Structure 1
Amino acid sequence: MKMRSALIVGGTGLVGSNLVKLLCDSEEYISVTVIARRSLAFAHPKLIVKVRSFDELEENDIEFADELFCCLGTTQKKAGTREAFEKVDVEYPLHIASLAKKSGIMHAIIITAMGSNEKSPFYYNRVKGKLEKELIALELSQLSIVRPSLLLGDRQEFRLGEKMGEWALAIFNPLLVGPLNKYRPIEADQLALAMKVIALFGKKSPVAIYESAELNWLKMPEPKKENPLLSEDEELFNWDKLKPEELIPLDEEVVFNKEKLKSFSVNQESK
């Protein structure tokens, strides 16, 4: 597999920070560029951080990469107003995706949410559904939409609503089986891993949607063994088995006979 480059937007959040570390430590990626509103505490030789205002992003800020990972997202409470919320969750991702298309990035992997639907009775899901519709309309070369359920992990900020959801799901999680399995929460590091798997081995259709239940079990495939015909304990040749006492002695009749050679030489001279 060729070495890859990644562009991550939203690398300081819960999922984005996990994704940055994962890709930097990955053998498949040779460079990871992050566009963020503030610097990162994490550092790595592969990592390039561009501190930018998302209101002022220009075409030359988005350089070519194999994949764009968009992890932007906020809450209406933190944003303050619906307009500010939609700017972060819709306008910024759309603008970044359009710039990525111009720069030649072939694959965009973008987080929305479980239940995204522009006709949903819930405002949050309507906003995410609007984002998905507009992203699809951009006609990117390849678009992967990931729809996680409630995200679990250590956030830098405290979100009361999400904490209450975590406590409730901790109680009811064992009951979420069968059709209810899709409502199981997902760890942020697992979502980051799932996004990496999608980048490397995901569906090749122009638009692919990954629901939370699928994201929860996506893993990197096991590496192939160099010689599948041999077990781990076998060797091509075991030299220890070749012991001196096991060497077969030469047959005495086959040993070279010098007397016969003399006799042959005499007969030849007499002719």
Structure 2
Amino acid sequence: MAGKTALIAGATGLIGKELLRILLDAKEYEKVTAIVRRSVEIEHPKLDERIVDFSQLKQSKKIFAADDVFCCLGTTIKKAKTKEAMWKIDVEYPVEIARLASSQGAEKFLLVSSMNADPDSSIFYPKMKGKLEEEIKQIPFEMTAIFRPSLLLGDRDEFRLGEKTAAAVVTKIPFLFKGPLKKFKAIEGKTVAKAMYKIAQTNNSGLTIYPSEQIHEIGR
């Protein structure tokens, strides 16, 4: 499996920045392409950083020729300002990346979604993630892996008050997240990144959805 190529979208986010480090250190990959809106500010002989306009991805379709594609894109309504802008980042861009990667021969597509993803939800965020998953499932890859983490822990470049508050609460009462509540246990971004890397090295095929409790086990 040595000599593979990887492509990562969302390499400046909580999960993406951890995953990028793992991929660059991994012996399985000889080249890692990071498509970003701003520089990851990392120098590494295996890194091919491409600063792109995500609304014009088709103009750079050749850069999507990779064996394994990792998509960690996502934003907040506070940062995006509108639901329409958020939908573009969380749904339209990942779907376009997947389509372009598939057209360029990518074999594996690994996507970060959300634990409550549901296309029929009346709530915007889970509905959005559910619609994203529906679109991704229609794109042909040898392997499609969808990761549904619960509340994410870790150091972000941006401050998210609601997330910080929730994280402060759940880390003080970890004993509650056992049995049926185990799936709600908060998870470190680096744990999700490790799980994505590990799954990419398997011979799995078809579609697999990984709930948060399974991500914990794989990423340990």
Which range, TM-score by smaller chain?
A: over 0.9
Contact 2:64 2:100 in 1 (8 A): no
1:167-205: CA deviations, max 9, x gaps? Answer: 12112222100111111111111111000011002632x
1:6-155 → structure 2 map (5 Å cutoff): 6-58=6-58, 59-155=60-156
User: Could you tell me how far apart the structure 2 residues matched to 1:113 and 1:79 are?
Assistant: 18
1:57 is paired with a residue of what secondary structure?
helix
Q: CA deviation at 1:5?
A: 1.1
1:193-246: CA deviations, max 9, x gaps? Answer: 000011002632x111001100011158xxxxxxxxxxxxxxxxxxxxxxxxxx
1:188-227 → structure 2 map (5 Å cutoff): 188-201=189-202, 203-204=204-205, 206-219=206-219
User: Could you tell me how far apart the structure 1 residues matched to 2:67 and 2:141 are?
Assistant: 13
Contact 1:72 1:89 in 2 (8 A): yes
1:51-100: CA deviations, max 9, x gaps? Answer: 00100112534332110000100011111111001000000000110000
1:114 is paired with a residue of what secondary structure?
coil
Contact 1:90 1:131 in 2 (8 A): yes
Q: CA deviation at 1:25?
A: 0.9
Q: Which residue of 2 aligns with 1:178?
A: 179
1:208-247 → structure 2 map (5 Å cutoff): 208-219=208-219
1:6 is paired with a residue of what secondary structure?
strand
Q: Displaced runs of 4+ in structure 1, greater than 4 A?
A: none
- Higher relative strand content: 2
Contact 2:110 2:146 in 1 (8 A): yes
Paired AA for residue 200 in structure 1: Q
User: Could you tell me how far apart the structure 1 residues matched to 2:145 and 2:76 are?
Assistant: 22
Equivalent residue pairs, number: 219
2:173 is paired with a residue of what secondary structure?
helix
Q: Which runs of 5+ in 2 are unaligned?
A: none
The structure with more radius of gyration: 1
Q: Which runs of 5+ in 1 are unaligned?
A: 221-271
2:200 is paired with a residue of what secondary structure?
helix
Q: CA deviation at 1:123?
A: 1.4
Q: Percent identity?
A: 43
Contact 1:32 1:46 in 2 (8 A): yes
User: Could you tell me how far apart the structure 1 residues matched to 2:100 and 2:75 are?
Assistant: 21
Contact 1:62 1:99 in 2 (8 A): no
1:247-262 → structure 2 map (5 Å cutoff): none
Question: What's the Cα RMSD here?
Answer: 1.4
